Amino acid sequence: MENSYTMIEVMTQLSRGYVDDVVSFVRSYLRTSLSYFDSDKKESEKPYRLLILGMDAFFASTHYVRSERESGNGRYDISLEPKKKDWKGIIIELKTAKEGGELKKEAQKAYDQILTMGYKTEMESRGITDFVLLGMAFRKKESEAVSNRERENPASSHRRIILEKYHTPISLKRRERKQPSQQGHF
């Protein structure tokens, strides 16, 4: 249950346009759970795309979750089209960096690709006007991201520092949940 609670919190931040919690969670998960031997040599983006798609299952009741679909002049990796037009549309493009390549540059390429290929076109034609655009780059257990949104929700900055220090969102959640509330309830 701890994982799902953490995931809900992280994905809620993404839906609000804050990407730092998502990036921290993915970094933590890559370091603690995945093996880079899980990657496919022929399709190096595939395991990362499946990881992010699995996380995006959280949005199934509020968004249409799509992968590898055409929009504009190309094919995006992942899109989350809101079922309500006043919610944020989310487009995620992924890249993998070769050994010695700079992750930040690859993340910027992924972000730029969203813009230059016009991946917002399909959603815009259906009246979506507010977007979270997220370019992510991966190399083995490392990741980096570039977004059009504020990287950090001010309310979560302390939590992010702890997450990155201890590399696990689960341990933080356990500590928070064991503390009694101000009202004396457990």
Q: What is the pLDDT of residues 132-170, one digit of tens each?
A: 999 999 888 888 999 997 654 444 444 444 344 433 334
Q: Mean pLDDT score of the chain, rounded to an integer?
A: 76
Assigned domain for 136 exists: yes
Assigned domain for 184 exists: no
* More confident position, 91 or 3: 91
Domain carrying residue 169: 2-178
Q: Which residues pair with 137 in a beta bridge?
A: 95, 144
Angstrom distance (rounded) from CA 69 to CA 55: 18
Assigned domain for 43 exists: yes
Assigned domain for 26 exists: yes
Q: Global pTM?
A: 0.74
* More confident position, 127 or 1: 127
Q: How many domains does one find in the chain? A: 1
Assigned domain for 69 exists: yes
Question: Encoding tokens for residue 16?
Answer: 């609000």
Burial class (CB in 10 A: 0-12, 13-18, 19+), 68: exposed
AA identity, residue 180:
P
Residues 41-56 have pLDDT tens digits of 666 777 788 888 888 8
Cα 1 to Cα 82, 156, 173, 180: the distances in Å are 26, 21, 11, 19
Residues 6-18 have pLDDT tens digits of 677 888 888 888 8
Angstrom distance (rounded) from CA 52 to CA 30: 11
Assigned domain for 185 exists: no
Q: Do 93 and 114 contact (CB within 8 A), yes or no?
A: yes
User: Hey, CA dihedral for 152, 23, 121, 127, is it positive or negative?
Assistant: negative
Per-residue pLDDT, averaged over 53-77, amounts to 87
Rounded to the nearest 5°, which phi and psi values hold at 153?
-80, 120
Spell out the residues 6+ positions from residue 60 whose beta carbon is closer than 8 angstroms to its own. Answer: none
Predicted local distance difference test score (pLDDT) of residue 41: 63
Assigned domain for 68 exists: yes
What is the domain-level CATH number for residue 169?
Answer: 3.90.1570
Assigned domain for 186 exists: no
* More confident position, 3 or 92: 92
Q: Which residues pair with 66 in a beta bridge?
A: 79
